[in-house]
Amino acid sequence: MKRETKNQRADIVNKVLSYIYLYIDTDLNAKELASLNSISLHHLYRIFKEETGRNLYETIKSIRLQKAASLLLTNKYATISQIARMCGYSSQTSFIKAFKTRFDTTPKEWKNGGYLAYSQKNIESSKSASASTRDFTGTVPKIMKTAAIRAAYIRHSGYDISIKNSWNRLEAWRLENNIPDHARQIGFHHDNPTITPLKECAYIAAIEVGEGIHPHGEVAYFEIPSSVCAVFHIGGKYGDVLRFMQYVYQIWLPESGFEAKTLPPYAIYRQNHFLNDTGEFELEFYLPVSVL
């Protein structure tokens, strides 16, 4: 396959996934996604399957359910029907059926604590997180409104040490394109890794870029929207981040007086443990929230 063709296919997949994540609360359809890329439905299905290894509609369904699973445990005053609508389901019945098939429990049971065993099993699947003894109890964020951030990014499937490869590729792109070394490095978490199988987590390695820099292909461009966020400043070593997220989603957020938005959280690294030799990180974790 020629590089130009490979970049064109990457552009199509990136546009589709970005659109899905941005409009997950709407009635997404394949015709709309094909039109977005000026290609036929047949080509969209084929390219998406070949590039991601996944069926388009199964991907949309999976993203909806993972988003719902996270909101059910963080937005404790939202009803199940409200969560369903936030994740693009017009029918509560179809949502409950799909959720039970995916998580082997009902949304109500999950919301009432059924997620705990699932989450613990997920944490234990990571050797580094299991070995972490960090306790983030009492960590308090600042609430602030963030500015939009222009960024170049690489998508990565899986939340594990293999993320290092995507960061190395992005670092090579930065050097080739003379992006200053003080440009902010950003880790974008589409999924909550405490309740999403780690190998299925969608992660983005990103770096801030200036106006007029809009890369395409394997390294693409997006804009992180402005939002009111709870901002946590933390440090640690590889494996501690999962423990931190467990604290944020299962302890801090449900008792905070805030609700999570459908916008994904992201980390801005001061020290990036995926790029340095120490395996230690320092970062600000930005969680988009709204007041109850």
pLDDT by residue, tens only, the chain of 292 residues:
777 888 899 999 999 999 999 888 888 989 999 998 999 999 999 999 999 999 999 999 999 999 999 999 888 889 999 999 999 998 999 999 999 999 999 999 999 988 988 888 888 888 888 888 889 999 999 999 999 999 999 999 999 999 999 999 999 999 999 999 999 999 999 999 989 999 999 999 999 999 888 888 889 999 999 999 999 999 999 889 999 999 999 999 989 999 998 889 999 999 999 999 898 999 999 999 999 8
- Which residues, 6 or more positions from 195, have their beta carbon under 8 angstroms from its beta carbon? 66, 69, 70, 73, 115, 118, 119, 122, 249
According to CATH, the topology of domain 142-291 is: Multidrug-efflux Transporter 1 Regulator Bmrr; Chain A (3.20.80)
- CATH superfamily, domain 3-124, is Homeodomain-like (1.10.10.60)
For the chain, residues classed under CATH 1.10.10.60 are 3-124
Cross-strand pairs, 58? none
β 258-260/266-271 pair status: unpaired
pLDDT of residue 27: 87
Q: What are phi and psi of 219, to 5 degrees?
A: -100, 120
- Helix ranges (DSSP H) in the chain: 3-22, 30-36, 41-52, 56-74, 80-86, 92-103, 107-109, 115-124, 127-131, 163-176, 240-247
pLDDT of residue 212: 86
Per-residue tokens: 231: 């901002």
Per-residue tokens: 38: 């000026």
What single string gives the DSSP state of each residue in 240-259?
Answer: HHHHHHHHIIIIIGGGTTEE
Per-residue tokens: 89: 């389901």
C-alpha 42, offset from chain centre: 28
For the chain, residues classed under CATH 3.20.80.10 are 142-291
Cross-strand pairs, 203? 156, 189
| 8 Å CB contact between 166 and 253 | no
